[in-house]
Every structure is written in C-alpha cells, then in structure tokens.
Amino acid sequence: MIAIPILAFISLGAWALSSPVASSPDDDFHLPAIWCGIGDRPGLCESPTGEPTSTDRYVPAAIPTAPCYAFHDTQSGACWNPNQPGMARVTRANIDHLYPPVFYAAMAPLATKNIEASVIAMRFVNAAFIVGVLTAVFFALPRRLRPALLVSALAASVPLGLFLLASTNPSSWAILSAAIVWICCYGALTTEGRRRYVLIGLSILGAVIGGGARADAAIFAVFGAVVAVCLAYRSWRRQRSALIGVVAVIVVSAAFYASARQSGATLGGLGTDAAPLTFAQNVSNFLEVPQLWTGALGSWGLGWLDTTMPAAVWVLTTAVFAGAIFIGLRSASRTKLLMVLLAFTAIWIVPFVMLYLSHATVGNQVQPRYILPLMIILLGVASAPNSDQRTEGGHHLAVGAAALAGTAAIALQFDIRRYTTGVDKHGIDPGSGAEWWWPAAPSPLAVWLIGALAFALMLGLMWWFSRRADGPLLDTTDTVEIAASAGDS
C-alpha cells in the first residue's frame, strides 16, 4: 500500500517539471506574493524607500517577466531569462491581503534568489504535502469511506487538478481542502473512539488549508461541513464532540473568509467595468455553465488557458466523472440523493451567480478552477456508501482507471510540448527540438514516460486493492461505526 503515495508523488513530480516558472494562472501575482509571504527580506522582497504605506514591493527582476509566454501558445518557455539582475517593482504582492496569507507564508521560506530552483522546490514540497495529507486522511477514515475519498480526488483530477496540485497556485490547497473537509466531518460523525478525534483534527486542518489559501475555499469548507451533518443526521445527536469539531471548521473558515479582501467577490462579483447582463445573456449563461465543468476536465486550456487539450481528453474524463456519479447513486438513500442534488445545484448556481455579479458571460472572468472544489465534493458525496453498502471493485473501476491513465498521459505530453517548443511544433517525444527545459532535470521524454507510468501504476494498484476482500479499501472488520449512519432512510 505504501507504493501508492510514492507513485502519486512521482506523478505530481512529473507535472511539477512539465511547465516553466509562472505557468500557473495569475502567477504574476502569486509569485511576488510568495516572495513577500513572510515580510521584507533583503534581495527577495523589499519595500519602496520612503513609502511606508505603499503596498508595492521590489522582488527579483526575473519574477515579473516570467509569464512572457502567457496567451501566446506558439511561444515556448525560452522567452524568459531567469538571470535578470536587480530588483523590479510590482504593484501586486498580496501586501493588502487580497488573498489569505497562509499559503504564501508556507511557500515563502523556499524562496531564494535562484528563481527556478525555488519554484521547483515549492512545487515538489507542495506535492509531497498534498500526498501526505491525503494519505493521512485515507488511513484515518473508516474503510468503507476510503473509496469515496479516492474517487472524489481522482475522477475530477485530470487534467486541471493534476496541473494545479503540482503548482505554486493557492488553488492547489483549495482542491485539497474540498477533498478532505467534508469527508473528515462525515467520518467523525459516524465513528467512535480515537478515529473520531483524529478525523476532527484533520477536518480542522483542512479548513485551515482551504481558508488559508482562498476565500472561496473557506465557503466550500462550510458547505462540505453542512453536507456532512445532513448525511449523518441520524447519528450526530450522539456525537457532541464531533459536532464541536464541525462548528470549529465553520468558525475557522468564517474567520479566514472575513480576513481576506477577496471575500468581496462573493457579494460583488469579480472586478469589472462591463454593463450588467441582459436577460438573454443570463439565460445563455445558465445554459452554458456546464462548459466550466468540462473545462476542469480538459475542454479549457491549462496554465494561462492557452495549453489546449485534444477532445479525447475531456470526452473521456467527462465520461468518468459522470459515470462515477451514476454508479455512486445506485441504491442511494433519500438523504444521500438530496445531498447529491444540493451539491449538483451548487456547481450550477454558484458559477451562474458569480457570472451575474461580475457582468460576465461564460468564458470570461469565472474559470473552471474556481468550480473544481465543488465538483470534488459532488463526486465524494455521490460515492459515499450507505451503512449497509460495500464498494465493489468491478469492471467499471478498471475501465475508469484505464481512461484516467490514458488521458493523464496525453495531457502531460501536451503540457510539456506546449512549453518546450510551443504548439506550432508536433511530435510524440515532447523534447524533440526543445527550445526550453530545466537546466538540471531528466529529459522531457523521461519526465513524460515516468509521470504517465507512475499515474497508471497507482490507479492499477488501487483497483487491485479494491478487488481484495481483506484489503484496505473493502474490509470493515477494524472499523467501529454507528449503525444508523449515512442517512439510511
């Protein structure tokens, strides 16, 4: 079983190497925010002289120019010079706490004057942290809930999730938080003994992770906690300590939400000077919202939305996503059906309202990565079993795993090729004719093959364990659960 987190880390490591510095969305903001994440430091983050109230900062000159290839898909990563001398002034470094500060403060100790080495270190440390937290949650959960964690974390991860989880973007923590908060709260409400207290601690950690990265992640954590309470309504009256943990999740999330100026987007929308939408535009938005779902599954580009995926990626990943929901709804209780309906309503209404408030149409302002955490919660709730239901490792799991492995391999190859040469050149070997690559890393071909193989082996091992009646995914002999859990009605 230990091989699975190792393979997961190797796979994310390949994605960490697949793109250059500043390749994740809005890294022209996130990187300066990281370099200034723990305050002024000589040569890394410096305040303008004689301007004590200014929110501008000076950071290494190479950082602001790093996304030189953004929105130019034929431009490789070679346009950037990492050795630019001196410092450059930036007007956005999160000094005014637009975003919560925890993610940036956590990455800041890894920031040095060597921009490339720092970013790679951040990506690998972030990948290790994410894999470590997911592994801890997996073993803390009752065995019957473990498949729901895996399904929710994997069935919506290709390709956008994999790209973000191995990036310097705070959305990586928002995704992690969405995957663990609701299920830890649910597990705590439906178990007894030490497991319950471990899950309470992990749910609060998840709230800190999400709320410390993005204001909207704090809202999603509260939503997940409420869903968990509703799912476990038959048992929560006897779980006062677990309920206190759920309340702590809500309080922590609310505190982070209130502390970030980004929270204003919830009520006022994303900044825009556009005129309010017409009735026809609002109707069109309502009908086009599913574009954002498939966008997270590959129909939109990665990075700065300019790394397009072939249709085979998003068609297969969408089939896996929908299939996981329908399979999870077999023999579902009324409570579970209601919670799935609530989560489904959320992934439709939340982006619609954001678009309405932002005076924007689908394709502008609101991005799929904002909705991905809600998609993860939907998958998890749909996959959570009833108390008398056991997850089966049948052929549908093998087919889904094969589809995810294949699409992840295709997506990784396209992502590497986008930055080594630009999309105007083609070839199976993503390193053929490379104009850019990391100075000290395995070849692009090796990174692609190792990453794709690691992800495929990880999925294969999960499927194999799911077939074992005494394995870590199906056996419930060591789990003490409250009999009336999971909303059995």
Q: Please provide the DSSP assignment of 311-330 as one string.
A: HHHHHHHHHHHHHHHHHHTT
Alpha-carbon distance of 487 to 236, in angstroms, equals 11
Question: Which of 127-136, 297-306, 465-474 is predicted least confidently?
Answer: 465-474
* Predicted local distance difference test score (pLDDT) of residue 52: 84
Q: Any idea what DSSP says for residue 121? A: H
Dihedral sign (CA 488, 475, 145, 395): negative
pLDDT tier at 236, thresholds 50, 70, 90:
low
Instruction: Render pLDDT for 258-306 as a digit per residue (tens, 0 to 9).
Output: 988 765 555 555 666 789 999 999 999 999 999 999 999 999 999 999 9
Instruction: Render pLDDT for 83-128 as a digit per residue (tens, 0 to 9).
Output: 999 999 999 999 999 999 999 999 999 999 999 999 999 999 999 9
Say if CB 296 and CB 380 are below 8 A apart. Answer: no
431: helix, strand or coil: coil
Q: Give the closest residue to 299 by CA, choosing from 284, 287, 313.
A: 313
Q: Give the closest residue to 349 by CA, choosing from 253, 285, 279, 277.
A: 285
Averaged over 433-443, what is the pLDDT?
Answer: 95
In this structure, the number of other CB atoms found within 10 A of the CB of residue 426 comes to 10
Question: For residue 488, is pLDDT > 50?
Answer: no
* Predicted local distance difference test score (pLDDT) of residue 240: 78
Averaged over 322-330, what is the pLDDT?
Answer: 93
Q: Which amino acid is at 260?
A: A
* Predicted local distance difference test score (pLDDT) of residue 487: 40
Q: Where are the domains of the chain?
A: 3-23+114-467
Q: Where is pLDDT greater, at 472 or 7?
A: 7
* Predicted local distance difference test score (pLDDT) of residue 179: 98
Alpha-carbon distance of 306 to 299, in angstroms, equals 11
| H or E stretch covering 243 | helix 240-259
- Residue whose pair of structure tokens reads 């921009």 in the numeric block: 115
Question: Which of 235-239, 268-272, 318-322, 415-419 is predicted least confidently?
Answer: 268-272
Q: Which amino acid is at 347?
A: I
Q: What is the pTM of this model?
A: 0.93
* Predicted local distance difference test score (pLDDT) of residue 257: 93
Average pLDDT across the chain, whole number = 91
Question: For residue 485, is pLDDT > 60?
Answer: no
Question: For residue 391, is pLDDT > 60?
Answer: no
* Predicted local distance difference test score (pLDDT) of residue 270: 65
User: At a CB cut-off of 8 Å and minimum separation 6, what does 251 contact?
Assistant: none
Question: For residue 387, is pLDDT > 90?
Answer: no
Q: Any idea what DSSP says for residue 80? A: -
Averaged over 130-134, what is the pLDDT?
Answer: 98
Question: For residue 234, is pLDDT > 80?
Answer: no
Rounded to the nearest 5 degrees, what angle is found at the Cα of 58, between the Cα atoms of 77 and 127?
Answer: 50
Q: Where is pLDDT greater, at 356 or 390?
A: 356
3-state helix, strand, coil in the chain (%, to 5): 60, 5, 35
Say if CB 51 and CB 467 are below 8 A apart. Answer: no
Say if CB 230 and CB 338 are below 8 A apart. Answer: yes
Q: Any idea what DSSP says for residue 302? A: B
- Helix axes of 115-140 and 194-211: crossing angle, nearest 10 degrees: 150
Share above pLDDT 70 across residues of the chain, in percent, rounded to a whole number: 91
Phi, psi (rounded to 5 degrees) for 473: -105, -25
Where are the strands (E) in 375-425, listed by range?
none
Question: For residue 446, is pLDDT > 90?
Answer: yes
Alpha-carbon distance of 27 to 168, in angstroms, equals 8
Q: Any idea what DSSP says for residue 296? A: I
Say if CB 117 and CB 93 are below 8 A apart. Answer: no
Averaged over 390-409, what is the pLDDT?
Answer: 84
| H or E stretch covering 189 | helix 171-189
Question: For residue 156, is pLDDT > 90?
Answer: yes
Averaged over 301-321, what is the pLDDT?
Answer: 97
Question: For residue 489, is pLDDT > 50?
Answer: no
Question: For residue 388, is pLDDT > 60?
Answer: no
